[in-house]
């Protein structure tokens, strides 16, 4: 890590040299008193910039406690009187870089990492504090972060895999491994890498500059050692002490080359065969060994002698690399009993580099002796076995095929055929030329299928649909089977015999189909099961089809689609035991008995004697009120308030049409005062009777015998009047208004006559 011992102070006070600069004609540039004269006699002047710089340098990974000092800005416009202000803008200003506006000192507030960012671009200018006038124009400069060696080299892989041919020359390139270092490539040796080999010597070496791994030993033989583990190190600081390093492992495999010739372990092979061996029949095998693998170990055998080439042939078994000797020409014991010939083996693919090496040649040979054994040859069928095809609907007695045979012996005995046994669609035919020679050959009778069966459901489907199902929901996937066996496989087509408003079928074109709902809102009460006819057809000739019925039961399900209950038939099909059904029936019977008993008790309670037995029961009767109002002068608006008697306003009246079993202390509200309308009075009484707890539990007639209250003349009844009319004073009747004018005239007039 770098400490503050490496801080660098840059005093920026670089003046531009006073030299002539190209100037456009007619323009004037101040040069602090320096003047130049043009051809036309005009004076050109040029001013000198007071301060200018290129870039500052700052070391990364600063670990000091204080802010890291970057450098100092200074302008010759600064006279030291404190009137100059330095302004810094650009990348990281305020958060990463700070400037003292009075002195121009720049500091870094955080530790910087060059690998995150190497250059920061900033702008500086000088202004007058008093007038805020720019003294020096905005000028750009860079702060470049100097690198330190804080990153170790890293390889792109932890382990590499490579291969190189065996027997390669020294210096053959195997693989190049490259490491990278995040440090600065252009500054110092922090990112200068040197490669070295830590493990894998003396077989391999590595180029110290570019990491190329090469072979270091000649004649490395795969058959001796095939795999090598090589460890490569990359170290920075040009490999010097103190540099950082990283390692990787390279797994190197020697690939096989055809450098090993085939060899016979035994150079003499003895074989024997019957003279009756058929042409092409294998009579024995011979084997050579090759230390190579894969393609380089492939071999080919050949018969060298002419004597053997005419009678026998040899081929290579590609799996075992053995030489298989076969009969090329019919053998005859009576003509020749033994054969001897030489067999040679060579590699199929030869490498010219090793064909002329000091090693033995890339081929080997061995002698093969074949002994022919004498046999009494039985009759021979023309084919073995026989395969005869016949359609399953062939009529009895039809011709299906023929078998033939001959006797190869010289006497050519007659050949008799006999059918000896019969198994699964095939038969054994026995030929007999003499009592000791019998030949059997299987005759396979293959019964060809005819498309005479229609496809049907592959199984019995217990299909259900939930009552709360939605439209377009899958409820069943069906498949079909067919007992026929077409040559190209089954291909079923699913459809419906007619359009169904509840369900539809979608053919998946893989011998299955989906049953999809076309609506929602099924109900067990409306329909507990639906019968869905499905037509299934095959693609053979002639086309066969069948209609299978799919029963869809309607069930009640929860929100997750799990069945909770179905109709009785669905429950039976679900496998309810007899005991469970009996228990359910018993529960139903008990519930019915409880319901009947409860109904009987309710009926007995209803026979209780009603409160009102009178024939003139006033319940549900229509009552006509033929009140015509207050007279001819009051047909439009009659104020009944004057007829109200204050003495009965607070009277607590009980219902007179019932006999209450229990008297409740019920306080009836007083009629509305202050000349309320009759309608309001009736509505109030109606509300009181509706909320009366002593009222009977049925409709009843309530009579409101109320004639008014609150009259200013109090009661007009003569029951409470004086003993004689002479005691009464009727002058106040004249103050009651027009409605009582006639009555006042009558009584006041009588008083006048009486006095007279």
Whether 421 shows a pLDDT value over 60: the answer reads: no
Pair 177, 232: CB distance under 8 Å: yes
Q: Which pTM does this prediction carry?
A: 0.39
Nearest to 689 by CA among 429, 267, 681: 681
Determine how many CB atoms are found less than 10 A away from the CB of residue 516: 15
Instruction: Work out the average pLDDT over 585-594.
Output: 92
* Prior bond of 202 cis (ω within 30°): yes
Residues 441 and 499 in one domain: no
Q: Is residue 576 part of a domain?
A: no
Cα–Cα distance between 259 and 25 in angstroms, integer? 87
Q: Is the predicted pLDDT of residue 171 greater than 80, yes or no? A: yes
Percent of the chain with pLDDT over 90: 27
Q: Is the pLDDT of residue 621 over 60?
A: no
> Across-strand partners of 645?
none
Q: Among 103, 126, 146, where does a domain finish?
A: 146
User: What are 53's two structure tokens?
Assistant: 């710089």
CA distance 288 to 362: 12
Which of 547, 565, 583 is the endpoint of a domain? Answer: 565
Classify residue 715: in a domain, yes or no.
no
3-state SS string over 164-186? EECCCCCCCEEEECCEECCCCCC
Report residue 290 CA to chain centroid gap: 54
**Is residue 279 included in any domain, yes or no?**
yes
Least reliable range by pLDDT among 434-443, 623-632, 643-652: 643-652
Can you tell me the mean pLDDT for 594-599?
Answer: 91
Domain C-terminal end among 520, 546, 565:
565
> Are both 288 and 315 inside the same structural domain?
yes
pLDDT confidence bin for 499, thresholds 50/70/90: confident
Work out the burial of residue 709: count CB atoms within 10 Å of its CB; fewer than 13 is exposed, 13-18 middle, 19 or more buried.
Answer: buried
Report the C-alpha dihedral over residues 361, 362, 367, 373, rounded to 10 degrees: -170
Q: What per-residue confidence (pLDDT) applies to 367?
A: 94
Residue 19 has pLDDT above 70, yes or no: no
Is 591 among the domain residues?
no
Structure tokens belonging to residue 716: 């007009």
CA dihedral 492, 497, 501, 507 (to 10 degrees): 10
Q: Tell me how far apart the alpha carbons of residues 292 and 351 are, in angstroms, rounded to a whole number.
A: 12
18: confidence class by pLDDT, cuts 50, 70, 90:
very low
369/384 same-domain check: no
Query: 3-state class of 513 per DSSP?
Result: strand
Question: How many domains, the chain?
Answer: 5
What does the alpha-carbon distance between residue 236 and residue 618 come to, in Å, rounded to a whole number?
A: 119
Q: What residues pair up with 205 in beta bridges, in sequence order? A: 214
- 689: helix, coil or strand? helix
Name which residue leads in pLDDT, 93 or 23: 93
Across 60-69, 394-403, 581-590, least confident range: 60-69
Return mean pLDDT, the chain.
Answer: 76
| pLDDT of res. 246 | 92
Q: What is the pLDDT of residues 402-414, one digit of tens each?
A: 888 876 654 555 6
How much of the chain, in percent, has pLDDT values that exceed 70?
71
Reported as a single tens digit per residue, the pLDDT across 695-736 is: 776 666 766 655 555 555 555 555 555 444 555 667 777 777
137 vs 739: which has the higher pLDDT: 137
For residues 67 and 137, membership in a common domain is answered with yes
Confidence (pLDDT) at 52: 46
What does the alpha-carbon distance between residue 447 and residue 400 come to, in Å, rounded to a whole number? Answer: 11
Range of the domain at 464: 456-565
The pLDDT assigned to 39 comes to 45
Give the mean model confidence (pLDDT) for residues 555-584. Answer: 71
User: Residues 176, 248: one domain?
Assistant: yes
Residue 252 has a pLDDT of 94
DSSP 62: B
Q: Are residues 200 and 175 in the same domain?
A: yes
* pLDDT tens by residue, 223-244: 889 999 999 999 988 888 878 8
User: Which letter does DSSP use for residue 147 in this model?
Assistant: P
Return d(Cα 24, Cα 30) in angstroms, integer: 14
pLDDT value for 602: 85
The highest-confidence range among 364-378, 594-608, 661-675, by mean pLDDT, is 364-378
Q: What is the pLDDT of residues 267-306, one digit of tens each?
A: 999 999 998 899 999 999 999 998 888 888 899 999 998 8
193 burial via Cβ count (<10 Å: 0-12, 13-18, 19+): buried
Mean pLDDT computed over 15-27: 29
pLDDT in tens, 302-324: 999 887 889 999 999 999 999 99
**Measured between alpha carbons, how far is residue 594 from residues 589, 590, 600, 606 in Å?**
9, 6, 10, 19
Which stretch of 58-62, 154-158, 479-483, 696-700 has the lowest confidence by average pLDDT? Answer: 696-700
Most confident of 43-47, 255-259, 360-364, 628-632: 255-259
**What are the tokens at 527?**
């329909």
Residue 197 above 60 pLDDT?
yes
Please check whether residues 480 and 546 belong to one and the same domain.
Answer: yes
Whether 277 and 369 share a structural domain: yes
Q: What's the confidence (pLDDT) of residue 451?
A: 82
Torsion of CA 327, 331, 333, 338, to 10 degrees: -40
Q: Give, as one character, the DSSP assignment of residue 732.
A: G
Q: What pLDDT shows up at residue 269?
A: 95
Residue 403 in 3-state DSSP? coil
Domain presence at residue 294: yes
CA separation for the pair 536, 455 (Å, rounded): 6
pLDDT at residue 610, rounded to an integer: 53
Q: Is residue 635 part of a domain?
A: no
∠ CA 362-367-371, nearest 5°, is: 150
Of 745 and 612, more confident: 745
pLDDT in the model for residue 576: 54
Same domain, 63 and 107: yes
DSSP structural state of residue 93: B
Strand 173-176 with 119-128, pairing: unpaired
Taking the C-alpha atoms of residue 165 and residue 256, their distance in angstroms, rounded to an integer, is 6
Same domain, 267 and 311: yes
Give mean pLDDT, residues 189-204.
Answer: 90
Q: What region does 606 belong to: left with phi over 0, alpha with psi -120 to 50, or beta?
A: alpha
Looking at residue 481, its pLDDT comes to: 92
Position 611 in a domain: no
Rounded Cα–Cα distance for residues 487 and 42 (Å): 110
Question: What CATH number is attached to the domain comprising 275?
Answer: 2.60.40.60
**CA–CA distances in Å: residue 676 to residues 668, 683, 740:** 17, 12, 21
d(CA 442, CA 401): 13
Bigger pLDDT: 105 vs 580: 105
122 and 183 part of one domain? no
| 212 and 300 share one domain | no
Q: What secondary structure letter does DSSP report for 541? A: S
Instruction: Report d(CA 181, CA 114) in Å as an integer.
Output: 13
CA proximity to 186, closest of 243, 136, 146: 146
């Amino acid at each position: 890590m770098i400490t503050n011992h490496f801080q660098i102070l840059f005093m920026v006070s670089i003046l531009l040299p006073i030299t002539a600069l190209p100037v456009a004609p007619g323009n004037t540039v101040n040069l602090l008193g320096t003047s130049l004269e043009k051809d036309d006699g005009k004076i050109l002047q040029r001013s000198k910039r007071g301060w200018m710089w290129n870039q500052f340098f700052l070391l990364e990974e600063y670990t000091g406690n204080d802010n890291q000092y970057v450098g100092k800005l200074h302008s010759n416009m600064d006279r030291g009187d404190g009137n100059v202000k330095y302004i810094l803008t650009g990348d990281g200003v305020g958060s990463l870089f700070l400037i003292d506006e009075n002195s121009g000192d720049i500091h870094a507030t955080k530790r910087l990492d060059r690998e995150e960012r190497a250059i920061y671009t900033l702008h500086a200018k000088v202004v007058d504090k008093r007038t805020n006038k720019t003294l020096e124009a905005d000028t750009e400069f860079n702060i470049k972060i100097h690198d330190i060696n804080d990153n170790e080299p890293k390889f792109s892989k932890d382990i590499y895999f490579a291969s190189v041919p065996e027997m390669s020359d020294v210096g053959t390139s195997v693989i190049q491994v490259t490491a990278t270092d995040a440090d600065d490539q252009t500054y110092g040796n922090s990112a200068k890498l040197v490669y070295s080999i830590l493990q894998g010597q003396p077989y391999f070496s590595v180029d110290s500059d570019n990491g190329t791994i090469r072979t270091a030993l000649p004649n490395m033989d795969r058959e001796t050692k095939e795999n090598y583990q090589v460890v490569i190190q990359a170290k920075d600081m040009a490999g010097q002490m103190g540099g950082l390093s990283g390692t990787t492992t390279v797994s190197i495999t020697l690939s096989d080359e055809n450098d090993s010739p085939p060899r016979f372990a035994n150079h003499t092979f003895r074989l024997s065969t019957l003279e009756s061996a058929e042409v092409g029949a294998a009579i024995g095998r011979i084997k050579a060994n090759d230390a190579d693998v894969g393609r380089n170990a492939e071999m080919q055998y050949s018969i060298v002698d002419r004597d053997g080439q005419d009678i026998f042939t040899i081929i290579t078994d590609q799996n075992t690399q053995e030489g298989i000797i076969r009969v090329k020409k019919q053998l005859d014991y009576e003509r020749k009993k033994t054969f001897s010939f030489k067999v040679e083996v060579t590699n199929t693919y030869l490498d010219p580099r090793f064909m002329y090496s000091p090693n033995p040649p890339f081929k080997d040979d061995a002698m093969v002796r074949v002994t022919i054994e004498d046999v009494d040859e039985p009759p021979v069928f023309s084919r073995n076995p026989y395969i005869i095809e016949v359609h399953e609907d062939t009529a009895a007695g039809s011709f299906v095929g023929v078998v033939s045979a001959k006797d190869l012996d010289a006497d050519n005995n007659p050949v008799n055929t006999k059918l000896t046994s019969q198994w699964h669609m095939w038969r054994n035919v026995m030929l007999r030329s003499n009592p000791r020679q019998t030949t059997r050959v299987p005759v396979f009778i293959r019964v060809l299928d005819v498309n005479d069966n229609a496809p049907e459901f592959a199984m019995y489907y217990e299909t259900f649909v939930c009552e709360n199902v939605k439209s377009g929901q899958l409820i069943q996937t069906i498949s079909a089977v067919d007992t026929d066996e077409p040559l190209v496989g089954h291909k079923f087509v699913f459809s419906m015999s007619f359009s169904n408003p509840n369900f539809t079928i979608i053919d998946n074109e893989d011998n299955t189909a989906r049953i999809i709902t076309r609506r929602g809102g099924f109900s067990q009460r409306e329909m507990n099961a639906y019968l869905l006819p499905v037509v299934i057809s095959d693609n053979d000739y002639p086309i066969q089809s069948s209609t299978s019925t799919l029963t869809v039961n309607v069930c009640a399900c929860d929100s997750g689609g799990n069945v909770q209950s179905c109709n009785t038939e669905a429950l039976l099909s679900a496998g309810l035991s007899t005991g469970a059904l009996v228990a359910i029936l018993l529960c139903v019977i008990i519930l019915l008995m409880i319901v009947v008993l409860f109904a009987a008790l309710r009926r007995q309670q209803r026979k209780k004697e009603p409160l009102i037995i009178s024939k003139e029961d006033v319940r549900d009767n229509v009552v006509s009120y033929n009140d015509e109002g207050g007279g001819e002068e009051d047909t439009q608006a009659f104020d009944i308030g004057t007829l109200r008697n204050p003495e009965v306003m607070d009277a607590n009246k009980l219902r007179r049409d019932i006999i209450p079993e229990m008297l409740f202390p019920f306080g009836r509200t007083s009629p509305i005062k202050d000349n309320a309308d009759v309608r309001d009075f009736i509505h109030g009484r109606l509300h009181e009777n509706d909320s009366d707890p002593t009222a009977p539990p049925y409709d009843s007639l309530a009579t409101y015998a109320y004639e008014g209250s609150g009259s200013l003349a109090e009661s007009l009844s003569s029951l409470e009047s004086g003993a004689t009319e002479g005691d009464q004073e009727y002058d106040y009747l004249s103050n009651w208004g027009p409605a009582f004018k006639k009555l006042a005239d009558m009584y006041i007039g009588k008083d006048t006559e009486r006095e007279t």
